[in-house]
Amino acid sequence: MDRRPLLLLKTLFLFVLTALAEITGCYLPWLWLKKNGPLWLLLPAALSLVAFVWLLSLHPAASGRVYAAYGGVYVATALLWLRYVDGVTLTATDWIGASMALAGMAVIVAGSWK
């Protein structure tokens, strides 16, 4: 049985968690700096960035390949954050760009299969 589709789904799920950790770790200090949020936001922000680094370390592939593939998922996740957290309506070009970024991630991940 070919396990590659399952591997791709696991990788995608892990990358989405990683992107959420990174975005949260950057969003909370932004709230503090730009929206006069409370200082305590910096603690969960730091913990979120630690989780981001740890999640990236869980991939068995070479780090450069992981970072390159992760970038595609980050783009798509950031656009979903823009829609559902910031409340901004996405454009057709946002959706096309996210699709292209995810396709690039899939190509990079598939290229690492041996």
State pLDDT tens for residues 14-67: 989 999 999 999 999 999 999 999 999 999 999 999 999 999 888 767 678 888
What per-residue confidence (pLDDT) applies to 35? 94
- Say what the pTM is: 0.86
What per-residue confidence (pLDDT) applies to 113? 65
Looking at the chain, how many residues does it have? 114
Any idea what DSSP says for residue 35?
Answer: S
CA atoms within 13 Å, Cβ hemisphere of 31: 17
State pLDDT tens for residues 92-110: 999 999 999 999 988 887 7
33's tokens: 């700096």
| Residue from 110, 111, 112, 114 nearest 5 by CA | 110
User: What residue segments make up the domains of the chain, in order of their start?
Assistant: 4-111
